[in-house]
Structure 1
Amino acid sequence: MRTRRRTTVLTASLVLALAAGPLAAPAFAASPSPSTAVRGTAGPDAEALRAALAGLPDADATAALVRVGGTDGSWRGSAGVHDLESGAAADPDARFRAGSTTKVVTAATVLRLAAQGEVDLDTPVQRYLPGLLTEAFEPISVRQLLNHTSGIQAGDGFGDAFEDQYAHRFDTLTPRQVVASAVAKGPEFQPGTQQDYLNINYTILGLLIEKVTGHSYASEAARLVLRPAGMRDTYFPGTDPRILGPHNHGYQAVQQADSTTKFVDVTDWNQADRWAAGDMISTTADLERLITALFRGRIVPGPQLQEMFTVPAGIEGASYSAGLQRFEYGGKVYWLKSGARYGYSAVVVATRDLSRTLVYSVNSTDAKGESMNAVAMRIALAALK
């Protein structure tokens, strides 16, 4: 369940790609060639965005949904297929596994509670959740969980290889079990001295939310963030492996013994272990509503909202704030959050002034790979230039 390396590589790949220029899309000759749906003309480079989606499905992705927005103009597009068997066109309004973009919602929920005086960001989490951490851990503030400087190590999952995880895709690993496995390893470093992006920080924040409010994480996230943002098609599935409502299928490319590639349908998958760190199901429209409402101060009040734009000082290589990640390109500062579950890759990106926003869901055939998906890279190149 260690995710730091992939997320760091993704952001580095995005910055390098923006500087280097677009990549060519690989061929996927055995698949149909559906049309690309486009809506909107002002602002963004529509021709470049259409080109970014051309040729889907291909070896890298079976579908892609894109929304570019902001005060500079908007563009909407989709390409690919609903599923490889039917070849029907991808649903542009489909729900998908949003992965670690869930952390934006979790961070906003905690910051709302802080604004209401129910959580103190400087108070050690040990006071809110006594007995959760052993005496081997120094006091870890809520803020240090939010910005990944806690020093808590990664929790265990059902293995690292796709085959191992796929075999357990309908099994349940509870957040408490994940935390217990992390705590048993002891601290990785002294709190506040390093930054290590890990799901475990947000899993513990989910437990904090439940302890402070007396209600489930899902209900509090919906009350404090989803409903105020108008996110009508977003929900937390719990142990249900299905994606409810309209959705496009996700696939994982698996190399076979004869060197051929098989595309395994990974749409149904119990994500309970990801919980407050990454089990949300959403739409591109809802994620656009989320980032817009957040940056306009409609979800989290100003003093607490600043935490989402504050990277901890004095830590070499730090780029994560509360729920987001900072990166610069072309003289602009962008704030983003990526997410990946098998079959699905998602990103939400925005400038602080909301002059440009980008949300995409790419049905990646190697969503947990170390490098950035080629289709996603083309989309970013077209949308953020």
Structure 2
Amino acid sequence: MRRNRIAVLAATATATATATVIALGVIAAPATASPSSHASVRPAGKAAGKDADKAAGKAADKAAEKAAALRKAIDGLPDGTATAAQVRYKDKDLHWSGASGEADVRTHTPAKGDERFRAGSITKTFTAAVALQLVHEGKLDLDGTVQHYLPGLLPAHYPDVKVGQLLNYTSGLPGGDTRGTPKGPDWDKGRYTTWDHRALVRAGFGKPMEFAPGTQQHYSNIGYNVLGLLIEKATGRTYEQELRDRVINRAGLKDTYSPGTSFRIKGRHTHGYEALENADGTTRLVDTTEWDQSETWASGDLITTTADLDRFVSALFAGRIVPQQELKLMFTVPEVPQYESGKPAVYGSGLARVQLTKGGPVYWGKTGSRYGYLNGFAATQDGKQSLIYSVNSTDAKRENASPDSRVGRIIVAGVGTPSA
């Protein structure tokens, strides 16, 4: 396949990879290897006596039930909806990790749980962390405007857009249509296209503003790709260098990186697949692993593992990546309505607020998807409970988290059943 050119960034090589097409029936059978998991039940405190022993016993039983529920949530892969899953969970009584399915359905290689995958929009949390560090250092100002830092980037008739509004999705900037419609005839549009970063940002600027900045919240990629440009302007270095030095290395992440213009994933990884319907009604799988992620860049190009996400979330929530003053912004949701739906906003700066049950615990996290990859993390603000998952969904761009979906079952097993 030919790598296209967009704006000033030209391809330097020809992509010779061909998409692998696999009959869906290949993955209908159970996995060739037994699913793997590991659980450690954390010991109770030193308090003695019957009451303490009883409490410890209940905690152990509850931890065992949780581990069994998580195991059940990922059993039976590969199947018609997903080829593999990797999950990590922890609370005060249990640390659990597990994997199921096949990292590669052609070779039937079992997923072990330490494979890399495309993180998708989880990248935004990393980008927010870099931007908030720069705010703390005075290199960016939350009230500073894009027009001030990057003159000429936005159309002259657009109103002022602030850095803080980019972070919490209230900028009102319109996004560009850089990819095809899921399951549509152009679903793999631009698969081997390399986007210049400014061209990526400007792709939607023929449209009017969606709303006045700061008045509504609309989750989209545009604001975080502008933040990528701001990070480069404020530091004089590339976004990828700043992300590596300020977040990846600081958090001790061993298998996380930005791929740049490479369409491959380095090292051991799970393959992503998209299920497509043939003209005769049968279904085939197309290997989507190789894909130029410059179409998402600072909003979604990261490659990582569940272990690295666990380290990242722990370090971030503990204040070891973003200083406490700016970290509060990640847990602060603006009091504005969501665009179009009118429901209350749910996103802070790089994190989403999630409360699954009425009166239940509040979780903060982020989801992300690319074709063949559906991922997410959620944790309590104190970091004592967290769930991290990566599912190789065969319909990742359209699958929701309903309790009967694969991802929904993982969420229910980890952090509870959503209330009506």
Taking structure 1 as the reference length, the TM-score comes to 0.90
The match for 1:328 is 355
Structure 2 residues without counterparts, runs of 5 or longer: 1-25, 42-62, 338-342
Whichever residue aligns with residue 352 of structure 2, its letter is Q
| CA deviation profile, 1:161-182 (whole Å, cap 9, x unmatched) | 4442425311212322221122
Quick one: which of 206, 214, 219 aligns to 1:184? 206
What displacement does 1:71 show?
3.3
Structure-2 separation of matches of 1:32 and 1:118 = 51
Q: Which has the higher mean CA deviation after the structures are superposed, 367-376 or 355-364?
A: 367-376
Name the residue aligned to 2:380: 351
**Contact in 1 for aligned 2:124/2:299 (Cα 8 Å):** yes
One-letter amino acid of the structure 2 residue matched with residue 138 of structure 1: P
Aligned amino acid, residue 382 of structure 2: D
Deviations along 1:120-177, one digit per CA (max 9) or x if unpaired, are: 1111121111111112211111000000000001112133244424253112123222
Distance 1:72 1:109 in 2: 33
Secondary structure class of the residue paired with 1:49: helix
Q: Quick check: 1:332–1:351 contact (8 Å CA) kept in 2?
A: yes
Superposition deviation, residue 70 in structure 1: 3.8
Deviation at 1:372, TM superposition (A): 2.9
- Show structure 1 runs of 5+ residues with no match: 1-26
The Cα offsets for residues 2-39 of structure 1, whole Å up to 9 and x where unpaired, read as xxxxxxxxxxxxxxxxxxxxxxxxx9634545311111
Larger Rg: 2
Which AA in structure 2 matches 1:269? W
In the alignment, what sits opposite 1:36?
35
Point out which structure has higher relative CO (alpha carbons under 8 A, 6+ apart).
1
Q: Hey, what's the Cα distance between the residues in 2 that align with 1:370 and 1:64?
A: 15
Q: Note if contact 1:91-1:246 (Cα within 8 Å) is conserved in structure 2.
A: no
Q: Which residue of 2 aligns with 1:260?
A: 282
Q: Which residue of 2 aligns with 1:375?
A: 406
Which residue in 2 is equivalent to 1:220?
A: 242
Letter in 2 for 1:155: G
Matched with 2:79 is 58
1:366 deviates by 0.4
Structure 2 CA distance for aligned equivalents of residues 72 and 217 of structure 1: 39
CA RMSD of superposed structures (Å): 1.6
- Kept in 1, the 8 Å contact 2:180–2:189? The answer is no
Residue 273 of structure 2 corresponds to 251
Q: Deviations over 1:316-339 (max 9, x none)?
A: 520011001001134100011000
For residues 20-75 of structure 1, give each alpha carbon's deviation from its aligned partner in whole angstroms, at most 9, with x where no partner exists.
xxxxxxx9634545311111232471110111111000111100000102434210
- Aligned positions, number: 359
Displacement of 1:91: 3.0
The C-alpha deviation readout for 1:265-293, integer Å capped at 9, x for no partner, is: 11111111100000000000111111110
Other-structure match for 2:138 = 117
Partner of residue 8, structure 1: none
Which of 162, 165, 168 matches 2:190? Answer: 168
| 2:393 is aligned with 1:364 | yes
Q: Does 1:319 align with 2:350?
A: no
Secondary structure of 1:71's counterpart equals: coil
Over residues 230-267 of structure 1, what are the superposed CA-to-partner deviations in whole Å (9 max), with x where a residue is unaligned? 11110000110000010011100001111111011111
| TM-score of the superposed pair, with normalisation by structure 2 | 0.83
Q: In structure 2, how many angstroms separate the alpha carbons of the residues matched to 1:245 and 1:286?
A: 15
Question: Do the aligned residues in 2 keep the contact of 1:136 with 1:186 (CA within 8 Å)?
Answer: no
**How far apart, CA to CA, are the structure 1 residues paired with 2:347 and 2:178?**
24
Summarize deviations over 1:56-105 as a string: whole Å, max 9, x none. 00111100000102434210100001211121211310000000000000
For 2:28, give the aligned amino acid.
A
In terms of fraction of residues, the more helix-rich structure is: 1
Equivalent residue in structure 2 for 1:105, among 117, 126, 131: 126
Match of 1:379, SS state, is helix
Contact 2:36/2:112 (8 A) holds in 1: no
| Amino-acid identity (%) | 48
Partner of 1:281: 303
The 2-side partners of 1:337 and 1:183 are apart by 27
Aligned partners of 1:181, 1:92: CA distance in 2, in Å? 37
Contact residue 346 and residue 352 of structure 2 kept, 8 A? yes
Please name the residue that 1:67 is paired with. Answer: 88
Q: Which residue does the alignment assign to 1:48?
A: 69
